[in-house]
Amino acid sequence: MRTIPLLLAVLLPAAMPATAAEVRYELDPAHTFPSFEADHLGGLSVWRGKFNRSRGWVTLDREAGDGRLEVVVETGSVDFGLDAMDEHARGPDLLDVDRHPEARYTGRLAGFADGRPTRVEGELTLRGVTRPLALEILSFQCMPHPLHGRELCGADALARFQRDDFGIGAGKAYGFDMAVTLRIQVEAVAAE
């Protein structure tokens, strides 16, 4: 009779459905382009640029409503669509890429609704300065990748920060608004 409880203790966990586990995704650099918008001449116009090279990862546990992410951007890949502005942005007044070749965002996925995160609580490191920065996730979706079947997730996230908080005060004396809108458009594929 003692063998039945022992047998049940061994067999029942195997018969129960597996719970969801944390999945790691690698950012697809061909589909991940952090971009930004910043003031030019105190409201005269808005300059828009993006970074052409980035890498990173995301972990996601839908059942636990948890996950983490890291996005690393090569600051020298800044692209305004104007070579002269790109060169200026790489210089010491703005991104100072010789001293700070990377910017980094790390955070924890939060605010899950129906298995999808709605925000990221994290930190941005830019020009060697690290500050808290929350991202609002505007859209989030996962699907089987059409070419190799592994899960593919995509998101569009948004945040605003003051660039002079990171030591980028160029133009402030001329009335430039220091606010920057950051957008992180990202696609990531489940690791094999």
132 near 170, Cβ under 8 Å? no
Beta strand 78-79 with 102-110 is unpaired
pLDDT, average across residues 161-174: 96
Confidence (pLDDT) at 192: 83
Task: State the chain's mean pLDDT as an integer.
Answer: 90
Q: Which domains does the chain have, with CATH numbers?
A: 23-190 (2.40.128.110)
Q: Is the dihedral of CA 98, 161, 79, 71 positive or negative?
A: positive
Confidence class for position 10, pLDDT limits 50, 70, 90: very low
- Per-residue pLDDT reduced to its tens digit, 131-152: 999 999 999 999 999 988 899 9
| Full 3-state SS string of 81-103 | CCHHHHHHHHCCCCCCCCCCCEE
pLDDT, average across residues 101-116: 96
User: Would you call 62 helix, strand, or coil by DSSP?
Assistant: coil
| Full 3-state SS string of 170-190 | CCHHHCCCCEEEEEEEEEEEE
pLDDT, average across residues 20-49: 93
151 near 143, Cβ under 8 Å? yes
Confidence class for position 162, pLDDT limits 50, 70, 90: very high
pLDDT, average across residues 84-104: 97
Confidence (pLDDT) at 20: 60
Stated pTM of the model: 0.86
